[in-house]
Amino acid sequence: MDHDFDVCVIGSGAGGGPIALRLAQAGKRVLVLEKGPWFTEKDFFKDELACCRRSVYTPKLSDEQHVIEDKNPLGEWIGTPTSESGRDFWNGNCVGGSSNFMSGFFHRLKPVDFRLLSEFGPIAGANVVDWPISYAELEPYYTMVETEVGISGRVLAHPHAEPRSTPDFPYPATAEHAFSARIDRACAALGVTAFPVPRAILSRPQGDRRSCEYSGYCGSYGCASGAKGSARAALLNRAIASGHCELRANAKVTELSSDAKGNISALAYVDGDGVRQRVDAKIYVVACQAIESARLLLASTGPRHPDGLGNRYRQLGRNLLFAGGSEGIGSFYYAEMDPGEAAALRQRGPFINRAVQDWYTFEDPDFGGRAKGGTIDFLFSHPNPIGRAVNQIWDNNDEFLVWGQPLQERLQRVFTAKQYLRFEAFNDWLPNDDCFVGLDPGVRDKWGSPVARLRVANHPHDLKVGRFLADQAARVLTELGAKEIHTFVTGDPPQNLVAGGCRFGNDPKTSVLDRHCRVHDVDNLYVSDGSFMPTGGSVPPTWTIYANAFRVAEQIRAAL
């Protein structure tokens, strides 16, 4: 039987880009379908309105939304459409997905992350499992990402580093701010190791991509130089240039059709003109992002899949993961510093590039002995002027508006008197039965498809670990001499760091995918985004998503 394509990839982010590149390089006929528009470097400006105040790179909630369930005072779960609440769970709907807008803090998982159950034992109320693969199996693909996506950094030998098969990164570290050395000294004084953070940002040009131009606006912004290692800039452009990959933007896939044997026979999508189209391929790859991938599979019913693809044992959409953690901030007043230090601190552009993993695992009697902790990244507060100004209009207790001369004084102080150093701490968001994706029975998107209905409850253990990490980070800020130190721990999930929902495993009764990320009971369907992760680790997941997608690409190539 002849097919339109060898492989059809649905989604163009970190999970889809490696598939498209590797199979196009192998001479296979590849089609990538992306729901959003196709932006390029010329479309990315350092425009806070476009980036952070309006829905330019994400859908309007009136067109596409989610329904989020929260507990009311009676303990009942009540769903509210995000068009009503204003909560936004989109983070970049366009070619390259949210990888266009990441900060590029790249950390590998560690061997312990693949054996969370074996290493630390069960936790009541958490669905913790070991991975069906080991760190050693994924390590070559972590290394592959360093070259293919472009990771800049320098390896520092320290007691908490994970094993590597290469001595260093392929690109030198990005330019570091002078304040980074001060963090090194403060950590050393506390007996803590601060190490350089690898960044998925080119420190020198490569091909059509320019190196970092150090504008100071990175996280949440698209990259105008192409230095950021988005799936679009680093992978898809090369896949298309091979002549074996076609990318269709503004293509919303509505369903996957399956035959009497349970395999995928075709898919339907709506193009930018609103016309319904049909495509068939030998193999299909879903890489829509964790929430949307589960939503598509749930909506794709068939003779052998009455409850959705891969949902024979009601595992689809379960064990959704976000990033647990905490954050904090400290102030450094220029007037209290040596003039030279103050002048250096005022500089914007170079990165802090410092992290601490001394508490990735730790011993503490409050946790019953050995426990899993996480990663602390240090960074300057984002320079967005509108956001900074808006934060000054309420008093410290958020009880009344500040205006007139007091507001003027606040604005002058926040922009001219001090610099902020922030930290973000990452720890496991434990999978649990109250964090999952389903289909809403009533709310639909502009194409008429049921929207995803999410319950996003965290496990109490996540907050306990987040508080522990926040306290350790506060010690570093205190040693640095920061004033007005504030730390925050919250159970509200960061929508840009999401995984799970289609966990992989060896037993179809407890997983959606096999160890190669092929859907159980469907011979020609794979899922290659962060959905596969059974646990999230204590780092941002993007590097792991990239690495696993390269691993899955090899499995698909062998299958073809």
DSSP symbols for 291-317: HHHHHHHHH--BTTBTT-TT-TTS-TT
Instruction: Please tell me the CATH code under which domain 5-153+164-206+220-559 is placed.
Output: 3.50.50.60
pLDDT at residue number 394: 85
Instruction: Extract the runs of DSSP E, i.e. beta strands, from 191-251.
Output: 194-196, 245-248
- Which residue type, as a one-letter code, is found at position 14? A
Maximum pairwise Cα distance, the chain: 76
Span 30-60, pLDDT tens digits: 999 999 999 999 999 889 988 888 888 999 9
In angstroms, the CA 197 to CA 200 distance is 10
- Which residue type, as a one-letter code, is found at position 488? F
Are 422 and 388 contacting, i.e. CB atoms less than 8 angstroms apart? no
Kindly tell me if the per-residue pLDDT of 134 is higher than 90. Answer: yes
Most confident of 67-76, 84-93, 126-135, 395-404: 126-135
In angstroms, the CA 196 to CA 155 distance is 8
In angstroms, the CA 209 to CA 233 distance is 7
Are 69 and 78 contacting, i.e. CB atoms less than 8 angstroms apart? yes
pLDDT at residue number 391: 86
Region 139-151: mean pLDDT is: 98
pLDDT at residue number 496: 84
- Provide φ and ψ at 241, rounded to 5°: -65, -20
Pairing mode of beta strands 435-444, 369-372? unpaired
Identify how many contiguous H helices and E strands the chain contains and give both numbers: 14, 22
Kindly tell me if the per-residue pLDDT of 398 is higher than 70. Answer: no
Kindly tell me if the per-residue pLDDT of 138 is higher than 80. Answer: yes
Region 177-192: mean pLDDT is: 97
Are 223 and 263 contacting, i.e. CB atoms less than 8 angstroms apart? no
Angle between helices 17-25 and 542-559 (to 10 degrees): 40
Q: Is the pTM of this model over 0.95?
A: yes
Q: What percent of the chain has pLDDT over 90?
A: 88
Region 253-276: mean pLDDT is: 97
Span 217-232, pLDDT tens digits: 998 999 999 999 999 9
pLDDT category of residue 538 using cuts at 50, 70 and 90 = very high
Kindly tell me if the per-residue pLDDT of 517 is higher than 90. Answer: yes
Q: Other CB atoms closer than 10 Å to residue 188's CB: what's the count?
A: 12
pLDDT at residue number 493: 85
Kindly tell me if the per-residue pLDDT of 2 is higher than 70. Answer: yes
pLDDT category of residue 383 using cuts at 50, 70 and 90 = confident
Sign of the four-CA dihedral 442, 445, 446, 448: negative
pLDDT at residue number 382: 87
pLDDT category of residue 1 using cuts at 50, 70 and 90 = low
Kindly tell me if the per-residue pLDDT of 149 is higher than 90. Answer: yes
Q: What is the mean pLDDT of the chain?
A: 95
pLDDT at residue number 395: 79
DSSP, res 138: H
Region 385-413: mean pLDDT is: 86
Region 350-374: mean pLDDT is: 96
Pairing mode of beta strands 67-71, 450-456? parallel
pLDDT category of residue 289 using cuts at 50, 70 and 90 = very high
In angstroms, the CA 529 to CA 234 distance is 17
Instruction: Give the start-to-end residue ranges of the domains of the chain.
Output: 5-153+164-206+220-559
Of 99, 133, 111, 81, the closest CA to residue 16 belongs to: 99
pLDDT category of residue 80 using cuts at 50, 70 and 90 = very high
What is the DSSP code string of 238-261? HHHHTTSEEEESS-EEEEEEE-TT
- SS3 state at 381: coil
Identify the residue whose tokens are 């996480």.
374
In angstroms, the CA 203 to CA 217 distance is 16
Buried b (16+ CB within 10 A) or exposed e, 518-556: bbbbbebbbbbbbbbbbbbbbbbbbbbbbbbbbbbbbbb
Distance of CA 103 to the CA centre of its chain: 10
Are 252 and 35 contacting, i.e. CB atoms less than 8 angstroms apart? yes
Of 500, 451, 91, 519, the closest CA to residue 285 belongs to: 519
pLDDT at residue number 520: 97
Identify the residue whose tokens are 């496990």.
459
- SS3 state at 120: helix
Kindly tell me if the per-residue pLDDT of 466 is higher than 90. Answer: yes
In angstroms, the CA 225 to CA 395 distance is 39
